[in-house]
Amino acid sequence: MSKASLNFTHISAFDPAKDIVWSFSYKIENTGTLPLDGGFTTYLDFSVPTVSGPENTLGYSNNYNPINNSFLVAAFDVYGSFCQKKSDTFTTGIASRTPNTLTIRLSTNYTYLTSIPLASFFPLSAPDFQSLRFQLTNLGNTFNVFYMGGDSYQKITSIETGKTFVDSEKLYIGMSWSSNACTSKLKIKDFHYQAQN
């Protein structure tokens, strides 16, 4: 069965001691006859990842091994395996996969922070483009996630990272995507950032 994954990272690094805000619009399209699978991540890294990983990690890994310089990753998972604790993928997480979730993991060992089921208010796959916004604030201590609902952004979650940054550290903004059976296609537009490098 065919698999597809990719990741890309912004060319510039930004100062997490100041607010980092980024947003984009996306659409997941089903390109096959099998049920939709996979999903995408957006992340903050201390360096640029160069290898895309398998479907369980939504493209964000080095063949099941954690990215060496990861800080934080937010996964939007249609299939629901990014939240699950599994010996071959993640050492922390919940017992079973949960489809259509936002899962946030921290640091190089993918420490599980939280999962939020999205289906009741923000279906991951929709006919039109949907917009998301992310904010790292409070010297890197707070990570906020928003979705566009109506004419304004609505908060999905706010979570403490347990990290305080100093001026000498920099973070890269990136995204990854994976489809285990090549049944989905991810389209991205209007990628914006508001950050100081």
Domains (range + CATH), the chain: 4-194 (2.60.120.200)
Which of the 8 DSSP states describes residue 60?
B
Tell me the whole-structure pTM to 2 decimals.
0.89
**Separation in Å, CA 134 to CA 22, 63, 153:** 5, 26, 10
Neighbours of 89 (CB within 10 A): 18
Q: Radius of gyration over alpha carbons of the chain, in Å?
A: 16
Report the share of the chain in percent with pLDDT over 90.
Answer: 42
- Tell me which amino acid residue 51 is: V
Evaluate whether 130 touches 102 at the Cβ level (below 8 Å).
Answer: no
- pLDDT on residue 137: 95
Q: Give per-residue pLDDT as tens, 51-78.
A: 555 556 777 765 555 555 789 999 999 8
- Whether residue 123 is predicted with pLDDT greater than 90 in this model: the reply is no
CA distance 56 to 130: 23
Distance, CA of 142 to chain centre: 16
